[in-house]
Structure 1
């Protein structure tokens, strides 16, 4: 920032450039420190008055529209649902220039009384940064969110799950999640051609955006989610037995509901995604090294991913592949 200069009158003046108007602004004070402080405060809290004449709804919608080709379809759909369904009409219709800390706090409090802590956190983390960008003068750091406590679940043994879905129309989907940690979106994106011999490549996802299924090639949840895994013969046989281009024709909701219904009937309250956690627990139980487990399940960061691919495509990786496959194969064969 520019340094204040002493005027003939004895006061100090500092000039700063205002990017919003494209003009310079002058700030005068009795001391150099005061003049520079005024200028710094102006730059810190400068707000484009053109934006403050917009409503919360308008700036949030603009944020979504400007990122429609950058964010994933799932993220765009989630943000649109937050804007359309979760935020109150009164809050969305409030002009930015009329917003106050109390109005925002009241909206957060309303959300806390209606939704789970996790949903509240996701919702607030969507709209708060957008508001903060346009109203930097508001003190928003003190807004408190409910704590998200981890859920404690008791998972059934893998053998129990395998037995429940033996011969079921969703047996393959369950095995892919249970034995290999595939996400529901990854399973839906699998094509028969992704299996070469006993190597299965996960390179796309299929997600639901509204009532439409969207396929994204070479775009799994993260970069490390695009991966190849060795599958056991009994899984490869089930994949080859499926007809059609895609391995499954079930929607995301159909997979979720059918799995939950079968498990609930057997006395278990777990979701389809929990199979991924069970898979991770099995690898921990078998002593599979962390970096291989992360690669196999697609959990690593980009940096970790590079290190993993440099060191695990070897005889050692084949040994761990066989170890995990043998574990599930024995269970599968025992339950015949």
Structure 2
């Protein structure tokens, strides 16, 4: 710690973020800067040489009263990475808030059909189809151009994110696994090719998609859920169709099946009822 005894926590975090600017996405850097300003200000003026475990734990405790465990853990992760860079010999043990198991609402097939009838021929139709039928992230939807449509399907080559200045920036997919080709039907291919813009498939931003999606659900008295949940619907439907998890992960741009196993395995009431009927039928066949 002696080499950086005059550096404050804020300076250490700022320098850490600056060192990652060339390798991390603009949206990640923006998130780091926001977390630094919003959550870690408590420690900003403390010099690293004066920092101890008690001060860090006190700051984490204060954050835990106001924010979710995920937010607190993410803020601590940024602090820890910065201290590792500028004070690698500083050893400390911090108790973090316990993780809360995430719960996801995922619409079933009947809900998707109802939504599509209402959303058809609106500005949200294309984003809705790309999320629910292709499993695309909003950032991937907004980056699609007509030349992404090939004979093999829909090629995912880039994403659009919002930088710290509120501007759209194109970047490569989240990881190497993000480069992929999604199978699409001839009807969907025609819809995508015939969108009004000559180049882009979706001309509205990811932020506008989220805002308009919430407004659409409220307007029609539908259950409110995040637009991103349509991606979960795609994964869950693939599971119900019996597609191996490895292939689902590849289609969704994941490098492993971890997210499929931990996040996307939802059971739909309608599907569960169907399975119950099948089980009862098997019993009848045995006894009959």
Could you tell me the TM-score, scaled by structure 1's length?
0.70
1:52·1:134 contact (CA, 8 Å) conserved in 2?
A: no
2:127 counterpart residue number: 173
1:149 counterpart residue number: 101
Determine the C-alpha separation between the residues in 2 that align with 1:154 and 1:68. Answer: 35
1:239 counterpart residue number: 192
Q: Which has the larger radius of gyration?
A: 1
2:249·2:256 contact (CA, 8 Å) conserved in 1?
A: no
2:18 aligns with one of 59, 62, 65: 65
Determine the C-alpha separation between the residues in 2 that align with 1:84 and 1:151. Answer: 29
Could you tell me the TM-score, scaled by structure 2's length?
0.81
2:222 counterpart residue number: 267
Unaligned runs of 5+ in 1: 1-46, 303-336
2:248 counterpart residue number: 293
Determine the C-alpha separation between the residues in 2 that align with 1:182 and 1:197. Answer: 19
Determine the C-alpha separation between the residues in 2 that align with 1:301 and 1:147. Answer: 22
Change (3 A) 1:264 1:116: farther
Q: CA RMSD in A?
A: 2.0
Q: Deviations over 1:282-334 (max 9, x none)?
A: 111111122222222212349xxxxxxxxxxxxxxxxxxxxxxxxxxxxxxxx
1:129 counterpart residue number: 81
Structure possessing the higher relative contact order (Cα contacts under 8 Å, 6 or more residues apart): 2
Determine the C-alpha separation between the residues in 1 that align with 2:217 and 2:152. Answer: 29
Determine the C-alpha separation between the residues in 2 that align with 1:174 and 1:166. Answer: 9
Q: Deviations over 1:198-226 (max 9, x none)?
A: 6211101111113111012xx20111111
Residue pairs, 1:97-112, within 5 angstroms = 97-112=49-64
Unaligned runs of 5+ in 2: 258-288
2:4·2:87 contact (CA, 8 Å) conserved in 1?
A: no
1:198·1:236 contact (CA, 8 Å) conserved in 2?
A: no
2:265 counterpart residue number: none
Q: Deviations over 1:78-97 (max 9, x none)?
A: 11111122222x41111111
1:212 aligns with one of 158, 167, 185: 167
1:201·1:228 contact (CA, 8 Å) conserved in 2?
A: yes
2:10·2:45 contact (CA, 8 Å) conserved in 1?
A: yes
